[in-house]
Structure 1
Amino acid sequence: MIKVDPDFITFEGIFAMLLSIKSKTSCGPDNIPNVFLRRYAESLARFLVEIFRSSLSQGIVPKDWLIARVVPVFKKGDNAIVTNYRPISLTVSCCKLMEHIISNYILNFLDERNILSPFQHGFRKGLSTTTQLITSIHSFSAVIDKSGQTDVVFIDFSKAFDRISHSKLIFKLNLLGLPSTIVNWIKSYLHSRVQFVDINGSHSDFLPVNSGVPQGSVLGPLLS
């Protein structure tokens, strides 16, 4: 398996990420406010670059990074029905920064090798639901101008984030040819995760997470 040199993680990159953090975003289970991370970005980046490089080279995610505070966000319908809430996982600040690094590496890896479909706009740099909509309307209009027919199929996978098999996900990442350094880190990121539910300051017990990816995390959308 190919390995990647962790030195691609730089002080400058981490410093820039810390400065770009939104101050008003909710804290994770570490209770570190984002305003603190921004204010002391330069000092923190000097330590974090060493921690992140060590974590990646060893393929080990610190145990404290595997905790998620789950906040149920109401979607619609009857607010007494549990399934009408979306579980948003608030994760540890340091882990979110590392997730950004891993996510950017994977996206660059896939783009350089043209692995992703050109029709996929979600979770890709420079693309969005807006570009997807523009492309679709253009395609539909071209067909209609020629008196053609356009059929559309919409698929919504139920509990897509929660039902992902960890073993199958790791198998697919290996199949794509990602460096073992990256795959091993993701394997550690998915293994032994725990979460607790927070409702207006009242916390549940810690529960193990045996499948899926954290909804609301940085890596979640890409891995799903």
Structure 2
Amino acid sequence: MLNDSVEKTSTAEIARIIKTLKSKKSAGFDSVSNFIVKKFPPSYIECLANCFNTWLNECHYPDDWKIAKIITLNKLKSGIPKCEQTRPISLLATHSKLFEKVLLLRIRHWAETDRLVPPEQSGFRPRGLLRTRVLSIYQEVKNNMAANIPTLALYVDYQQAYGRV
């Protein structure tokens, strides 16, 4: 992909991405929320498109957008939580989220066009549901049992993985 040129973005594409954002008022370190971004005038979106196109061309990602504002949330309904009863979330700059979505669209297109993602994969794809994978695993086990073929399965429980990282 290094020799391929990356498709430029447009004001229309950025406007579509902005419309998909939830109108939340929480903001990253830059204090700009999705709610504010949805109020941007067309001239600002045009400026964003110019910046995004420059960075796409230069393979550049602004360093300031790599900084997250971390907030600790209480898992309990009330009371003062113990350390294990909290979970941190990272709030990135909304501009960063917009640029990431532009990049994601290009990476998805590249991966699908070059057939890098196997048809069996549900993750990474839009509308790739876990239920689809569970049903296909169930069907494979059922077919193997009918044919008296052993089936190897590996189960991993990630329920509390984040707290132990």
Q: Which residue of 2 aligns with 1:45?
A: 45
Q: Is the 8 A contact 1:9 1:101 kept in 2?
A: yes
Q: Is the 8 A contact 1:70 1:87 kept in 2?
A: yes
> What is the identity percentage for the equivalent residue pairs of Structure 1 and Structure 2?
22
Q: Is the 8 A contact 1:68 1:92 kept in 2?
A: yes
Q: Which residue of 2 aligns with 1:102?
A: 103
Alignment partners' CA distance in 2, 1:32 and 1:39: 11
Matched, 1:121 2:83: no
Question: What TM-score do you get using the length of structure 2 for normalisation?
Answer: 0.76
Q: Is the 8 A contact 2:6 2:106 kept in 1?
A: no
Per-residue CA distance 1:36-70 (angstroms, 9 max, x = gap): 22233634321110111122223332332121012
Alignment partners' CA distance in 2, 1:60 and 1:113: 23
Matched, 1:80 2:76: no
Q: Which residue of 1 aligns with 2:28?
A: 28
Q: Is the 8 A contact 2:17 2:98 kept in 1?
A: yes
Alignment partners' CA distance in 2, 1:34 and 1:25: 6
Alignment partners' CA distance in 2, 1:35 and 1:96: 13
Q: Which runs of 5+ in 2 are unaligned?
A: none
Code of the residue aligned with 1:98 in structure 2: it is: F
Alignment partners' CA distance in 2, 1:50 and 1:142: 54
Code of the residue aligned with 2:106 in structure 1: it is: Y
Q: Secondary structure at the match of 1:39?
A: coil
Deviates more, 1:118-127 or 1:43-52: 118-127
Q: Which has the higher strand share?
A: 1
Provide closer, same or farther for how the CA distance between residues 149 and 102 of structure 1 changes in structure 2, counting only shifts above 3 A. same
Per-residue CA distance 1:120-149 (angstroms, 9 max, x = gap): 211212312122122222222222344544
Q: Is the 8 A contact 1:9 1:53 kept in 2?
A: yes
Q: Which residue of 1 aligns with 2:139?
A: 138
Question: What TM-score do you get using the length of structure 1 for normalisation?
Answer: 0.58
Using the TM superposition, give the Cα deviation of residue 96 of structure 1 relative to its aligned residue in structure 2, in angstroms: 0.6
Structure having the higher Rg = 2
Alignment partners' CA distance in 2, 1:88 and 1:154: 27
Code of the residue aligned with 1:13 in structure 2: it is: E
Alignment partners' CA distance in 2, 1:126 and 1:103: 15
Per-residue CA distance 1:78-104 (angstroms, 9 max, x = gap): x6345x755432111111111111112
Q: Secondary structure at the match of 2:46?
A: helix
Q: Is the 8 A contact 1:18 1:41 kept in 2?
A: no
